[in-house]
Amino acid sequence: MKRMSKYKIGYTTGVFDMFHIGHLNILRRAKEQCDYLIVGVSTDELVQKNKNKTPVIPLEQRMEIVKAIRYVDEVVIQPDKDKFGAWQKYKFDKMFVGSDWQGTPEWTEFEKQFAQSGVEIVYLPHTDGISSTMLTEKLKK
């Protein structure tokens, strides 16, 4: 008899500007580890504040692109970097983030916060050799 597993909700966030294979890899790997995947897309204002640049593709269009990916069950706006606030709203079991964030002070703090809530933070392998910043630089040349 097959044992029923608890329904797992996953959550990940990103800018998803100029969607590329690295974005797809993160979404695919996240979906492999949960039943329902919620993806937060950063607002233009959040990107401007945190990365000091404006996305090439506006928020609404980035959300539509992410929504069209078969691994994604729900797309939400990420207005800030308050991951714990997002958990209070969406009640996810797992949070997925690229391995390039592992060990950073910010994510070490998130790990402490989420440990008390039973949320597992999963670091997914970063796809080397591609990023929206690299694509922007290529376009400028």
Hey, which residues are catalytic here?
Answer: 51, 53
Residues 6+ apart with CB under 8 A from 107: 97, 101, 121
Round to whole Å and give the CA distance between 13 and 85. Answer: 13
Residue 139 corresponds to which tokens in the numbers above?
A: 């376009």
Going by C-alpha positions, the residue among 27, 28, 15, 48 that lies closest to residue 132 is 15
Residue 28 corresponds to which tokens in the numbers above?
A: 């695919």
Round to whole Å and give the CA distance between 108 and 60. Answer: 31
Residue 130 corresponds to which tokens in the numbers above?
A: 């591609």
Round to whole Å and give the CA distance between 31 and 110. Answer: 21
